Structure 1
Amino acid sequence: MPTTPDRCNRNLLIASIAVFCNMTSWRSLEVLQSSLNHEVGTVAVASIYVTAMLSSFVFPAYFIKKITPRKCLIICPVGYAVYTAANFYPVVYTLVPATVLAGICSSIQWPAVLVYISKLCDIKSSCAKNENNVNAKYFGIFYCIVNFSLLVGTIFLTVLFAITDQRISKENNTSLILMNDTNISFIVNHECGLYYEEGGREKSTSSSTLNDHIVYIIISIFLSLNIATSVLFYFLDETADSSDHLATLRVKNIEESDTKDTKEHIDSLATPNHCLMKQLNPKLRKQHSKRKFFKCSNSAKAVFKLICSDKVSWLSFLMSMHVGTLQAFSRSTYNAAWVSCSQGIRYVAYVSLCLGALQPLGSLISGYALRYMNHISLFTIATFLETSVTVVIFIWTPTEDGKVILFVIAATLAVAHGVFLSQVPSAYNLLFPEDRSAAMSLHYLGLFLGGGIINCITALSHPIVPLIFNMSCLLLGYLLFITGFKIKNKKRCDHSNQSSSKEEI
């Protein structure tokens, strides 16, 4: 188990690099689905979101407590690997079941890694005496590293476009010559932006223009990244229950100090769950583990219990949904209706490079910004930035000469998304310290739900509808989140005042 700050930093770095490898494979392959697999690619992506959303209700809280976060992280990349391997032979009866398995593993992996990082924060803060800063810094560093996967994956796709560009150009020139010879002419007249229609979008590279050997090499590289993820997770240190582990560290420090007041310190550190007694009495530890086992058997209901018992959980749920809606809007709706429509498919890769480069920057800056402000102030700044750029999207119609504005919008959305993506889980860690596995499951349930809704709305309506939905989730979620944070702070103040009054009596 990690017992020093350096050991905690090592585990954070390993976990971040492992998820980075997995997401580089996952996000790149997700973007390529519609190009590689025309018939089942879109169905596969939809299956992932639906399965991840439904399984978030049941599996994460149960397995995280049952087999520990570290073991969950070791097993989950196997589901991603099966999904990647299914792309070697992408038909309905191979790809769709693989996406279902990948969706289940995705719903478990993300809460598991967040719970694991939360425990690392507890361990390090017990030595650093600065819990809030450690919490924000660790989540900021983690998402900064992970978000670079979008940048690396986009660079990989850009190289892929370059490899196939010559062949595509030849085919386009041949088609143009044939059209001129037969005197066929047509005008594609469609509006970009808020009222963009799917029929006017430029078609992306099809699988017929990609060499089969290149496709197999790509999938093999992605598969090796999935395997490397599981191997990296294996080298993580196992963490015990957070309270048990901290109690062990305190007992160890007391034994090393060897002062006359050792017994008084042990008595003062005793807690209602008898963490210290478990270290001293094996029988009591065994009885406690049995009780804990029966609790774990019912942990699949932990998410529902959290929603029913703590009203702050549903106050903060809409902010989690906004993380998913912003992610889906910036990566799909914005690229299709604003970038590809006005500039062509090649600029989608360039704008995605901008998103991939600045999103990690937003995560990193947010972690250090929380040294000087609280979560409410940080979310106020991010909400203002996203609201301002959304107003620009509403009043501006993209044109061929508006390349700079496209990149400015993408950069602002990327920074705001980096802040929300990294610090909403950090805030959950502070709001729900008693049951973090259920809280993180609830957060990713909202994220998957928001992303799925935006993808469905985009396919059925004009881009103005998902844009309004994303803006509604942002503003209403921000107000509810502030309300929940203030409720929690008031409860903590009341509890601390009661404790101090009891001590005085």
Structure 2
Amino acid sequence: MPESSVVFGTNEKWRINRNILVMGFAFMVHFTAFHGTANLQSSVNSDAGAGTFTLAAIYFSLILSNILLPAVVIKWLGCKWAVAISFIAYMPFIAAQFYPRLYTLVPAGMMVGFGGGPLWCAKCTYLSVVAEPYAKLSGVSAEVLVVRFFGLFFMFYQMAQIWGNLISSAILSSNLGDEPGLWNATSSLADLFNNETSSPTVDFGSTCGVNFCSASASHGNTNLQPPSELKIQVIAGVYLACMAAAVILVAFGVDSLTRYTGGRNTACQGKSGVRLLAVTLRQLRHKYQLLLLPVIGYIGAEQAFMAADFTQAFIGCAYGISNIGYVMICFGVFNALAAPVAGALVKVTGRFPVMVTALLLNLCLLTSLLYWRPEPEQWLVFYALAAIWGTADAVWLVQVNAFSGILFPGNEEAAYSNFRLWEATGSVLSYATAPYLCVRTRLYCLLGFLLVGFLGYSIIELMEYKVKKAHHLERNFELVEKKPEQESLRKPSEAEGDY
């Protein structure tokens, strides 16, 4: 490997740290806009299922993007500019919120997916490569530094869910764009005489939650009325400014990776395009990979259900569209906290008890959603369910990802490619069917998916246990065999002594 042509000074460690911090902050600002917009799609753009079809388009194009684009784009642009240009590819999705129609949202969503593949690959490559010169300067192992850099990066990234939802909820909860006319005055007068807010004219329990069907033209529910156009435009304007700021941060605040590679090829390591697809599909011949597919698909499906159905049918319908962001903040916080806690627990209890806990949490959660009839005053329940969901989702995501790497040593690339492929497939199927299936049906499908997925995972654990047990018995048998052999070698010498 050729050495870098740049002579590093004493402040180079500070410079690398600055690059990582700026990169992480830029991702936080960028995904503040994306997450905030994506969480509102099924509720705000509900006409003809435009919002859910857009989310399906994002994940469908992301599948193609992950397979075909990263190596080519990074080879042309380099990691730094691949990140910046990929950020720009997300911007039409935000701009489409100014004129949200099916024919504007879906193509914009496809652009997001096509930008996503190069974006994440370039980020991973950048953090991995800068760890090498930092290791030489600090004397710390490059492997340790990569873990540290990724941890620092994801600390910023996880915060995007919080800020994005906070911005959207603050604007949606305001009076911006609401007409203060005679209606408001008479409403206030009525409230004064009745000593209470206007009672709802709709039975939330019979039309929201498990009884919600997005195909129904009218629910008679004011909670589901889209916010004023001005609010949506202000949100879109703020988010566009965030994405533009993220592009500027990367363009002017991050060094080019050539500074640390001396012209070395920095494209994504491993195969690309059709070769990667071939390796990914060839991996399906492995029985462990086939048994993992249902649980991987479930992860994608449950995340899509959370983003599309829970936000619209439960929070938006019963609690109000303006509160979606606040509840999703709770989901994001517990999702971020549960990942490291679950990792620490696995070291103490082993993987299977932690996975069983996630199964029980999901079973309780989905069963509660089937029987619960949401009402606006039950606000605490919305947050509790989001917290449980965030906790369980973090366990599934982290542990199944790690399990894929453990099961296929030397074939991690194909294993993780399969993970991305089938997780995205689960999301696409869930989003695409959302406008046509009622929530009750989708919950039953999700429950079945969960049980089949966990069964497949349990079979793998059982097979691995049997293999380890057989290996242990084999080792013990070898030790027992060696002992008599050694004794027989000693006996002739002892016998000679008797003569």
Same fold (TM over 0.5): yes
Closer/same/farther in 2, CA of residues 235 and 170 from structure 1, 3 Å limit:
farther
Amino acid at match of 2:184: N
1:147 aligns with 2:158: yes
Shift of 1:385: 1.6
* 1:154 to partner: Cα distance: 0.9
Instruction: Classify 1:105/1:229 alpha carbon distance in 2 versus 1 (closer, same or farther; 3 Å).
Output: farther
Query: Which of 404, 408, 411 is 1:428 aligned to?
Result: 404
Structure 1 partner of 2:356: 380
* CA radius of gyration, larger in: 2
Q: Distance in 1 between matches of 2:72 and 2:468?
A: 28
Match of 1:261 in 2: none
Q: 1:370 to 1:119 in 2, by over 3 A?
A: farther
1:459 has 2:435 as partner: yes
2:174 aligned residue (151, 163, 179):
163
- Following superposition, the deviation at residue 307 of structure 1 comes to 2.7
Q: Which of 226, 229, 237 is the aligned partner of 1:217?
A: 237
- SS at the partner of 2:348? coil
Q: Note the residue ranges of structure 1 that are not aligned, 5 or more in a row.
A: 178-185, 246-285
SS in 1 for 2:209: coil
2:29 to 21, 31, 47: 21
**Inter-partner Cα distance in structure 2 for 1:22 and 1:435:** 32
Distance 1:94 1:343, change over 3 A: closer
Q: Check the 8 A contact 1:303/1:442 in 2, yes or no.
A: no
Alignment match, 1:100: 110
Residues 319, 473 of structure 1: 8 Å contact kept: yes
Among all aligned residue pairs of Structure 1 and Structure 2, give the percentage whose two residues are the same amino acid. Answer: 21
Contact 1:136 1:368 in 2 (8 A): no
Cα distance in 1 for residues equivalent to 2:125 and 2:356: 26
User: Does structure 2 conserve the Cα–Cα contact (< 8 Å) formed by 1:192 and 1:337?
Assistant: yes
Distance in 2 (CA, whole Å) between partners of 1:339 and 1:479 is 31
SS at match of 2:374: coil
Does 1:50 pair with 2:70?
A: no
Once the two structures are overlaid, the 10-residue window that deviates more, 315-324 or 229-238, is 229-238
Does 2:89 align with 1:79?
yes
Amino acid aligned to 2:211: Y
1:265 corresponds to? none
What do the CA deviations read for 1:29-82 (whole angstroms, capped 9, x no partner)? 224556479686555434223322444454458778999877754543232234
Cα distance in 1 for partners of 2:55, 2:285 equals 34
Cα deviation code 1:284-343 (max 9, x no counterpart): xx9xx9xx9996575343453443443333322322222222222223212322233333
1-structure distance, mates of 2:270, 2:113? 27
Q: Secondary structure at the match of 1:164?
A: coil
Q: Is the 8 A contact 1:84 1:222 kept in 2?
A: no
Distance 1:25 1:346, change over 3 A: closer
- Cα deviation, residue 426, structure 1: 3.2
- SS of alignment partner, residue 459 of structure 1: coil
Shift, 1:142, TM fit: 5.5
Change beyond 3 A, Cα 1:209–1:298: closer
Tell me the TM-score normalised to structure 2 length: 0.69
- Between 1:61-70 and 1:314-323, the stretch displaced more is 61-70
2:486 alignment counterpart: none
Whether contact under 8 Å (1:11, 1:236) holds in the other structure is no
Equivalences for residues 465-476 of structure 1 within 5 A: 465-476=441-452
What is the rounded CA distance, in whole Å, between the counterparts of 2:444 and 2:326 in structure 1? 26
C-alpha distance in 2 between matches for 1:215 and 1:128:
44
Alignment correspondent of 2:229:
208
**What is the CA–CA distance in structure 1 between the aligned matches of 2:38 and 2:322, rounded to whole Å?**
18
Larger deviation, residues 479-488 vs 419-428: 479-488
Alpha-carbon spacing, 1:227–1:11, altered in 2? closer, same or farther (3 Å): closer
- Supply the distance in 2 between the matched residues of 1:453 and 1:21 (Cα, whole angstroms): 29
Aligned pairs for 1:245-284 (under 5 A) are none
Task: Give the whole-Å Cα distance in 2 for the aligned partners of 1:111 and 1:341.
Answer: 38
Instruction: Summarize the Cα distance change of 1:426–1:315 in structure 2 as closer, same or farther, 3 Å threshold.
Output: same
Contact kept, 8 Å, 1:62 with 1:300, in 2: the verdict is no
Superposed CA offset, 1:158-212 (max 9, x none) = 22123335726658638979xxxxxxxx954543322223332532444534385
RMSD: 5.0
Matched to 1:78, the amino acid is I
Which of the numbers 202, 207, 211 marks the counterpart of 1:191? 207
2:210 alignment partner AA: L
Structure 1 residue 491: deviation in Å? 7.8
Gaps in structure 2 of 5+ consecutive residues: 5-11, 189-199, 483-499
The offset of 1:413, in angstroms, is 0.6
The alignment partner of 1:460 has SS state of coil
**1:237-296: per-residue Cα shift (whole Å, max 9, x none)?**
6899xxxx9xxxxxxxxxxxxxxxxxxxxxxxxxxxxxxxxxxxxxxxx9xx9xx99965
Q: 1:324 to 1:164 in 2, by over 3 A?
A: farther
2:209, 2:439 within 8 Å by CA — same for their partners in 1? yes
* Superposition TM-score, scaled by structure 1 size: 0.68
